[in-house]
């Protein structure tokens, strides 16, 4: 009989242990991606691709190629979490060691904190539209400010902060219900807004070519490649920690079906709605407006204004909870499981996002660029290390007891709980990725892929001597 490995309290709590029920079906995964796609940022992002000089067909192809890349990585990153029923930081223990996994967990958690604050601030802009529509006198609160944000802005920000906190307090079941319903509701509202804008502009005035320049041949090909890379980069964060959600899915087949419906199909439809509305803004308002909140603010119809504001509130809250609340909740809980629960980890991120004063960060694009890009440069290497480790080194095998033990007999103990080879691969690839981001302009859009490939190659090389691992796994299975 295989010797039982003791579970360490430093590595486990109720939130980090394997989910036994796994009651999510394909629809919940599909709804997860709807919540991730349907956002103010996603709306602006889709329309912004035309600024590269591409026409409608070229943008469509770029979107399809980019989101197909995301689909491949979502399937790859989601499989170990679904198989073992464990979240991302626990999956990372296989490659980084049971304690070394705190490195990728903290990296992902910090990125989420930055974007949690920014997304909450964006959602508050839509909420303020509703406030002023029903209570116009509150506009006087905009005359005074505190720490760079008007009193009216504080009202909106705190309201959105509390709303998200209430949803999060009820746990993953409530989050699942919110994303199950918010995605379809947003589609209904987007369809209504789309119809209204088409009616106001006239279909003949709708154009799928929003660029002031037209590229063809090699130049168009390069920009399409850039656009596809931007799409992949846009979803890099939530795809990295996709195991936080795939762990709840009942089967890998259901997971893949939800991914197909939620990524290529859903993303293309939402992007089409976004581009139509942006295009219609030109004849309706006399200028192209890529910010949907500004579009809603200018509408004459009170019903559409309210509906549009509610849509972007739910859209932004949805992506924030999915991408930037759940991730740090598990990540920070992984650092000290007995002291930090899932909920405590989430609220650490929430309070940290306020201290960052995200409105000041959002209004300083250069600061966002340096803060986020340095952290994001490490995401690609994490992909490379975790994927190579699970599929090539571990051959898709997971020894679940070893994920939660400090015993030196555990397969993921390495040396003092840390696999230094993964740390070395992460350091080398991160440096290369940061250099590509900030010093070689032509490569800046491909830092995610450069970091991932470098990390994958370096890690595979460093782990080559670990040939005894496969034999050890076979022995573990035979003795179980």
Structure confidence by residue, pLDDT tens digits, 203-212: 888 877 766 6
Give the pLDDT score at 436. 84
Q: 139 or 40: whose pLDDT is higher? A: 139
In this structure, the dihedral spanned by the alpha carbons of residues 86, 477, 73 and 88, taken in order and rounded to 10 degrees, is 20
Terminal CA-CA length for the chain = 6
Place of tokens 């799409």: 231
List, for residues 350-380, the tens digit of each pLDDT value: 899 899 888 887 777 666 656 656 666 789 9
Q: Distance between CA 385 and CA 248 in Å, rounded?
A: 24
Taking residues 18-24, report their average pLDDT. 92
pLDDT higher than threshold 80 for residue 64 = yes
pLDDT higher than threshold 60 for residue 469 = no
Domain ranges of the chain: 26-479
Give the pLDDT score at 331. 94
Whether the CB-CB separation of 309 and 296 falls below 8 Å is answered with yes
- For the entire predicted model, the pTM comes to 0.87
Q: 127 or 89: whose pLDDT is higher? A: 89
CA 81 to each of CA 89, 172, 200: distance values in angstroms, whole numbers, following the listed order: 10, 16, 47
Please tell me the least confidently modeled range out of 123-137, 315-329, 343-357, 423-437: 315-329
pLDDT higher than threshold 80 for residue 47 = no
Q: Identify the burial level of 126 via C-beta atoms within 10 angstroms of its C-beta, where 0-12 means exposed, 13-18 middle and 19 or more buried.
A: buried
Among 73-82, 178-187, 351-360, the range of highest mean pLDDT: 73-82
Contacts of 134 (CB under 8 A, 6+ apart): none
List, for residues 222-259, the tens digit of each pLDDT value: 888 888 888 888 888 889 999 999 999 999 999 999 99
DSSP per-residue letters across 278-332: HHHHHHHHSS----HHHHHHH-S-HHHHHHHHHHHHHHHHHHIIIIIIHHHHHHH
CA angle 347, 348, 351 (to 5 degrees): 80
Whether the CB-CB separation of 425 and 455 falls below 8 Å is answered with yes
Mean pLDDT score of the chain: 86
Structure tokens at 245: 């959600």
Give the pLDDT score at 479. 52
Whether the CB-CB separation of 106 and 331 falls below 8 Å is answered with yes
For the chain, state the CA radius of gyration: 23
What confidence category does residue 418 fall into, taking pLDDT thresholds of 50, 70 and 90?
very high
> Which CATH superfamily does the domain covering 26-479 fall into?
Hydantoin permease (1.10.4160.10)
Q: Identify the burial level of 14 via C-beta atoms within 10 angstroms of its C-beta, where 0-12 means exposed, 13-18 middle and 19 or more buried.
A: exposed
């Amino acid at each position: 009989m295989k010797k039982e490995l003791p579970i360490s309290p430093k590595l486990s709590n109720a939130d980090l242990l394997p989910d036994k029920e796994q009651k999510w079906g394909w629809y919940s995964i599909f709804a997860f991606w709807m919540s991730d796609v349907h956002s103010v940022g996603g709306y602006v992002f889709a329309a912004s691709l035309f600024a590269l000089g591409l026409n409608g067909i070229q943008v469509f192809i770029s979107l399809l190629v980019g989101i197909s890349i995301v689909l491949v990585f979502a399937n790859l990153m989601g499989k170990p979490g679904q198989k073992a029923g464990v979240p991302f930081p626990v999956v990372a223990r296989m490659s980084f060691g049971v304690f070394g996994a705190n490195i990728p967990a903290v990296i992902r958690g910090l990125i989420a904190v930055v974007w949690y604050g920014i997304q909450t601030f964006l959602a508050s802009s839509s909420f303020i539209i509703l406030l002023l529509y029903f209570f116009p006198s509150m506009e006087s609160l905009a005359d005074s400010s505190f720490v760079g944000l008007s009193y009216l802005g504080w009202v909106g920000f705190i309201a959105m902060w509390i709303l998200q906190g209430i949803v999060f307090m009820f746990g993953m079941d409530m989050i699942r219900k919110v994303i199950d319903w918010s995605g379809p509701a947003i589609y209904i509202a987007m369809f209504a807004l789309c119809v209204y804008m088409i009616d106001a502009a006239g279909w003949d005035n709708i154009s799928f070519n929003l660029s002031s320049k037209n590229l063809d041949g090699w130049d168009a090909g390069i920009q399409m490649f850039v656009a596809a890379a931007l799409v992949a980069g846009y979803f890099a964060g939530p795809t990295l920690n996709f195991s936080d959600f795939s762990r709840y899915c009942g089967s890998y087949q259901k997971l893949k079906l939800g991914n197909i419906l939620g990524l290529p199909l859903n993303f293309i439809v939402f992007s089409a709605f976004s581009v139509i509305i942006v295009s219609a803004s030109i004849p309706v308002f006399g200028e192209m407006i890529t910010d949907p909140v500004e579009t809603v603010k200018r509408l004459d119809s009170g019903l559409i204004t309210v509906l549009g504001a509610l849509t972007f509130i739910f859209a932004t809250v949805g992506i924030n909870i999915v991408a930037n609340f759940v991730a740090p909740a598990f990540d920070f809980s992984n650092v000290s499981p007995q002291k930090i629960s899932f909920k405590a980890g989430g609220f650490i991120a929430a309070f940290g996002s306020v201290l960052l004063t995200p409105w000041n960060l959002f209004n300083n694009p250069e600061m966002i660029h340096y803060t986020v890009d340095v952290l994001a440069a490490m995401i690609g290497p994490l992909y490379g290390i975790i994927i190579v480790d699970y599929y090539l080194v571990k051959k898709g095998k997971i020894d679940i007891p070893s994920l939660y033990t400090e015993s030196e007999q555990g397969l993921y103990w390495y040396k003092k709980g840390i696999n230094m080879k993964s740390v070395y691969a992460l350091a080398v690839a991160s440096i290369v990725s940061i250099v590509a981001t900030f010093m070689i302009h032509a490569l800046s859009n491909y830092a995610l892929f450069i970091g991932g490939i470098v990390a994958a190659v370096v890690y595979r090389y460093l782990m080559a001597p670990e040939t005894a691992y496969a034999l050890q796994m076979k022995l573990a299975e035979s003795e179980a």
